[in-house]
Structure 1
Amino acid sequence: MEAAVRHVVITGAAGALGRAVASRFAGEGCRLALIDHKLQHLQSVFAHPDADGGMLLREADVTSGSAMAATGAEILDTFGAVDVVVHVAGGFEMGEATHAISRESWTRMMDLNAWSFIAVTRPFIPAMLARGSGKVIAVTARSASAGVASMGAYCASKSALQRLVESLSREVRGAGINVNSIAPGVLDTPANRRDMPNADPSQWVSTGSAARMVALLASEAAAAVHGQHLVLDGLS
């Protein structure tokens, strides 16, 4: 009997990790709904979406509840069901010393890295609950476990995201939904190579490795894994 095609939603899909995750699931024959904050970014990366709706490219602000509600409803209407939500979108910035963090910096990091998880999952969790199955994977960070100098707002926002992952997991695991995250150290991306030219990227985590861990958490091999954060250290 042929396995059913899975339907996967990926936010931040035009970024380096988002592209790797999308490639991984596309290679498994999944139908993809790819979300990014600029449609032109998606179109430049995914030039040939399937005409039959096998790949949807959608522009949406993941920090906007109304934008995600509309986008989520459209995806569910097109696909009929969503099996996996991978929330890659987020933000990073070096900031002020903790005692000098600005309200603007704090709000920006919390919106991008914590509130966005609520906005993104809200349209899809009710449908997963009705079906009694689903996988949600967030991208948190190794630095969510401890503070780092000049990264107070970022670390706090990723820590908040991990607490949201754990809380949602506690709420839905009994209904057959797995909620987890990957928590990478430094990812080997063009942006990180540009920003850290003197570092050794061979010590970092490749986007391919991170995508494989996302795929593992989305598979039946992880059916017993709930509310966990798989730390990807690389060699750093």
Structure 2
Amino acid sequence: MDFSNKYVVVTGGTGALGAAVVAGLLRGGAHCIVPYRAELEAQRFAHRGDPNVTMIAVGDLADETQVARVYASPGAAPLWASIHIAGGFAPGNVADTDKAALMTQLNGNLVSCFLCCRAAVNAMRAGRQGGRVVNVASRQALEWRSGAGMAAYTIAKSGVATLTTTLAEEVVREGILVNAVAPSIMDTGANRAAMPQADFNAWPKVEEVAATILFLASPENKVTRGAVVPVYGKV
């Protein structure tokens, strides 16, 4: 897919899925703006030092000031696409989840996504060229009962799905298409270590999930909006 001369923000870009998305964007000719939290993750990032990658240290994407700094960076304008992969997972039954744990999931997954969507849409409006927003929800956001035992995470990701569909309606007439993907368990080193007895072949590969994200973020996507696309693999 052709992203020549397109500027794209990728939150969570230093993670397994994010790195696969950034790789695809770079192959297509994009310039990527990648916020990161920890210096160690930046040092391990395969695309660090690429002339078409701008890395920005950000402590908390649930902080409006820090999000504004990402989207005001010189490399972020004119913005074509914003892909929101940053988030976190923690299991927990409702009875065992206190307010602090709930807010951690809401801030890390939903509030951060909301603020990045807001900043992205405003940047795209300023550029007057339309654009694309792609969020990352989860299977639990579409199949609520599967979220038993991970209630706070499921609530947060369900909010991301709702945000996606409502925002899509708000901005479509401006040429901005908003969509999301909903992965199941992805085949990453961390997930293999956490679930060594699982059937890894059934899990979607990060490159496969990235391919769906890249299409939704691309100029080739001319009609898809408000979708929360299942990317479950064989699970």
TM-score calculated relative to the size of structure 2: 0.92
Q: How does 1:80-229 map to 2 (within 5 A)?
A: 80-95=77-92, 97-130=93-126, 131-145=128-142, 146-147=144-145, 148-229=147-228
Displacement after TM superposition at 1:221 (Å): 3.3
1:78-105 deviations in Å (ceiling 9; x for gaps): 343110111010110111x223421011
Structure 1 counterpart SS, 2:225: coil
1:19-65 deviations in Å (ceiling 9; x for gaps): 100011111111111112124312321464245xx210111121111
Contact 2:3-2:219 at 8 Å conserved across structures? no
Contact 1:73-1:123 at 8 Å conserved across structures? no
Contact 2:134-2:217 at 8 Å conserved across structures? yes
CA distance change for structure 1 residues 200 and 167 in 2, over 3 Å: closer, same or farther? same
Q: Can you give the 5+ residue segments of structure 2 that lack an aligned partner in the other structure?
A: none
Matched residue pairs, number?
230
Displacement after TM superposition at 1:129 (Å): 1.9
Work out the CA distance in 1 between the residues paired with 2:28 and 2:54. 16
1:137-161 deviations in Å (ceiling 9; x for gaps): 0111111121322111111110011
Work out the CA distance in 2 between the residues paired with 1:168 and 1:25. 24
Work out the CA distance in 2 between the residues paired with 1:169 and 1:40. 35
Structure 2 counterpart SS, 1:222: coil
Displacement after TM superposition at 1:234 (Å): 0.5
Match of 2:43 in 1: 43
Work out the CA distance in 1 between the residues paired with 2:198 and 2:28. 34
Displacement after TM superposition at 1:3 (Å): 8.0
CA distance change for structure 1 residues 94 and 7 in 2, over 3 Å: closer, same or farther? same
Match of 2:17 in 1: 17
Work out the CA distance in 2 between the residues paired with 1:219 and 1:172. 17
Tell me which amino acid in the other structure corresponds to 1:156. I
1:152-201 deviations in Å (ceiling 9; x for gaps): 11111100111111111111011100000010111001110011011011
Contact 1:13-1:42 at 8 Å conserved across structures? no
Displacement after TM superposition at 1:4 (Å): 4.7
Work out the CA distance in 2 between the residues paired with 1:105 and 1:24. 34
Q: Can you give the 5+ residue segments of structure 1 that lack an aligned partner in the other structure?
A: none
- 175-184 vs 64-73, which moves further: 64-73
Structure 2 counterpart SS, 1:205: coil
CA distance change for structure 1 residues 153 and 27 in 2, over 3 Å: closer, same or farther? same
Work out the CA distance in 1 between the residues paired with 2:83 and 2:119. 13
Tell me which amino acid in the other structure corresponds to 2:80. D
Work out the CA distance in 2 between the residues paired with 1:3 and 1:118. 24
